[in-house]
Amino acid sequence: MRPVDARAQLRYNGTNFKCDDEGEKMNYRDLLTEEEILEVRNGDRTEAITDVAYDSRRVGPGAMFVAIFGFATDGHRFVEAAIEQGAAVIVHQADLARYHDDVVYLKVTDCRRLLGHIASRFFGHPSEKITVTGITGTNGKTSSTYFLTGILRAAGKKCARMGTIDNQIGDAVLDNKGRTTSESRDTQAFIAEAVAAGCSDLVMEASSQALDLDRLTDVHFDYALFTNLTQDHLDYHKTFEAYFEAKARLFDQTEKAAIINRDDPWGRKLINRIRERHPKLKIITYGEDPAADYRLSAVDCTTGGSTFTLQAGDEKETIFLDVLGRFMVYNAVGTIIAAREQGIDWAAIKAALADAPVVEGRMERIKTNLDFDIVVDYAHTPDALENLLKTVKELARGRVIAVFGCGGDRDHGKRPLMGAIAAKEADFSVLTSDNSRSEDPEAILDDIEAAVRPITDQYTRIADRREATVYALTHARKDDVVIFAGKGHEKTETSRNGVRPYYEKAVILDVIEQEKIGK
């Protein structure tokens, strides 16, 4: 196969990246190897491909459409629609009902997997032209990407970031279309755009679903960071082992160093897995464990931020992080190591963390003039809820009131776990809805309440989240901390009635205003 160089200029038009007229033209033979193609029809047509698409609604004239067997539907059903939109080449794995003479058909064994390879070739293997750090783990990915980009920017680098809240190239904020880690074609296009914009670094979250669904195929990671592993997404992965294995795949495509939280038991398991499979990959560990390469100690968390000491060999630094909570210290330490590996000096690291950005909906303090505190946090896993409540308990002078729920159509096992945690850790819980999706919200509350009731009677249940907010805020007393867990930065609420706008921070401020709380 002929090596494909960077596409000359890429421009972002909101949905698609397109090759500039001066860019190198590629036909299907440049994008798939002979071994990858099982069968070709009309293979003598070799016009330049204008784009690679996996969704018929985003196909333009001259594009290659890759038909994917999905969970909800089958891309093969949309081949004719793609051709109507102008697709010149169809990549498929099932036989089709109809073949046109003026369209090239390439039959392959695994369209989803191949899409990443095709897109990487089409966009000129962009991840080889930028330093890529991937962050995986159940909790802490988003916060870590913010910390690391903050440090890299403080050191004068132009960075791109991809994750749950949004995607960024330099200062430009792009829509992530609701995905933590985009589909492989969009990931490759995004990296190419970051390269074209002159970014030296990309920091991205790598979700377990993305790793499992080949969305990161052909992304070359320089550094990979593992934060922790606790229960989540078992509706998708089924077993903890499979969930771990999906996360671990990130380290199979990492070249320079694996940075791992040694205090997490799954982190220790990951170290062994890497030693067996990739003996040459550098492993750097962190944590309070005396065997950690970066040893964490003297962690002191207050409402004003956290101070901690980090020792690596002879180097010992005391660092201040302007963010609440012990677990955020762990997130910061992983990113410090990624920065140190890239040669960033301690001064830039300390400056960035002392002025760390508030990550929307992550331990976010809502500013009011009330005599109790309000914190919004995205905690929606048992582990995150436990950490959150324990952290706030350490800091609170009064009671801790937790407002939370569990998602519908997702891992049911989380419900009793989260109920029991709130019952033990909070002084009072308000059980409510959190994206009940197609389920009956009251049935979800039944599952949570079943675990709360045997432990405490200090709770109430109100399915309507706004009403639950009114209850929590009107019952809070001086020095209490009211925690709204689960929705974080999200802007919508999904239930059987559809998707409605719901932005936790705005609802809280509105309730305070409407109910005249504190007046």
Ligand X SMILES: CC(=O)N[C@H]1[C@@H](OP(=O)(O)OP(=O)(O)OC[C@H]2O[C@@H](n3ccc(=O)[nH]c3=O)[C@H](O)[C@@H]2O)O[C@H](CO)[C@@H](O)[C@@H]1O[C@H](C)C(=O)N[C@@H](C)C(=O)N[C@H](CCC(=O)O)C(=O)O
For residue 361, the minimal CB distance to ligand ATP (Å) is: 7
Per-residue string for binding with ligand ATP, 312-331, x by CB under 6 A? ---------------x--xx
Query: Under the criterion CB under 6 A, does residue 72 sit at the interface with ligand X?
Result: yes
Query: Under the criterion CB under 6 A, does residue 407 sit at the interface with ligand X?
Result: no
Nearest to 247 by CA among 278, 225, 279: 225
325 annotated to bind ligand = no
Query: Under the criterion CB under 6 A, does residue 143 sit at the interface with ligand ATP?
Result: yes
For residue 206, the minimal CB distance to ligand X (Å) is: 8
Q: Given the complex with ligand X, which of 7 and 179 has the nearer CB atom?
A: 179
Query: Under the criterion CB under 6 A, does residue 484 sit at the interface with ligand X?
Result: no
Task: Map the footprint of ligand X across residues 213-242, applying CB under 6 A.
Answer: 213
Query: Under the criterion CB under 6 A, does residue 71 sit at the interface with ligand X?
Result: yes
Residue 319 interface partner, choices ligand X, ligand ATP, none, CB cut-off 5-8 Å depending on type: none
Q: Given the complex with ligand ATP, which of 50 and 139 has the nearer CB atom?
A: 139
Q: CA-CA distance, 129 to 89, in Å (whole number)? A: 28
Evaluate whether 155 touches 348 at the Cβ level (below 8 Å).
yes
Query: Under the criterion CB under 6 A, does residue 243 sit at the interface with ligand ATP?
Result: no
Count the Cβ atoms, other than its own, within 10 Å of residue 456.
15
Nearest to 236 by CA among 432, 440, 71, 45: 71
Helix axes 504-514, 465-475, angle to 10 degrees: 60
Q: CA-CA distance, 217 to 114, in Å (whole number)? A: 8
Task: Map the footprint of ligand ATP across residues 103-122, applying CB under 6 A.
Answer: none
Evaluate whether 403 touches 430 at the Cβ level (below 8 Å).
yes
Structure tokens at 162: 């991809």
Per-residue string for binding with ligand X, 435-464, x by CB under 6 A? ------------------------------
Residues ≥6 apart with Cβ < 8 Å to 321: 305, 306, 307, 308, 328, 329, 332, 353, 354, 356
138 annotated to bind ligand = yes
Query: Under the criterion CB under 6 A, does residue 164 sit at the interface with ligand ATP?
Result: yes
Structure tokens at 214: 């080949």
Sign of the dihedral defined by the CA atoms of residues 21, 31, 54, 119, in that order: negative
Which residues are registered as beta bridge partners of 226? 136, 260
Reduced DSSP (H G I as helix, E B as strand, rest coil) percent helix, strand, coil of the chain, to 5: 35, 25, 40
60 annotated to bind ligand = no
Which residues are registered as beta bridge partners of 66? 91
Structure tokens at 243: 């969930």
Give me the phi and psi of 34, to 5 degrees please.
Answer: -60, -35
Calculate the alpha carbon distances from 54 to 9, 11, 68, 335 in Å. 22, 19, 7, 34
User: For 129, which DSSP code?
Assistant: G
127 annotated to bind ligand = no
For residue 266, the minimal CB distance to ligand ATP (Å) is: 12
141 annotated to bind ligand = yes
For residue 141, the minimal CB distance to ligand X (Å) is: 7
Compute the radius of gyration of the chain from its Cα atoms. Answer: 25
Residue 231 interface partner, choices ligand ATP, ligand X, none, CB cut-off 5-8 Å depending on type: none
331 annotated to bind ligand = no
Residue 57 interface partner, choices ligand ATP, ligand X, none, CB cut-off 5-8 Å depending on type: ligand X
Residue 227 interface partner, choices ligand ATP, ligand X, none, CB cut-off 5-8 Å depending on type: ligand ATP
Evaluate whether 274 touches 249 at the Cβ level (below 8 Å).
no
Query: Under the criterion CB under 6 A, does residue 186 sit at the interface with ligand ATP?
Result: no
User: For 221, which DSSP code?
Assistant: E
Q: Which of 140, 287, 382, 441 binds ligand ATP (CB under 6 A)?
A: 140
Q: Given the complex with ligand ATP, which of 292 and 384 has the nearer CB atom?
A: 384
275 annotated to bind ligand = no
Binding residues for ATP are: 137-143
Give the interface with ligand X as residue ranges (CB under 6 A): 54-57, 68, 70-73, 75, 78, 179-181, 183, 207, 209-210, 213
Q: Which residues are annotated as a binding site?
A: 56, 137-143, 180-181, 207, 215
Binding site for ligand ATP (CB under 6 A): 137, 139-143, 164, 180, 205, 227-228, 327, 330-331, 362, 377-379, 383-384, 387-388, 488
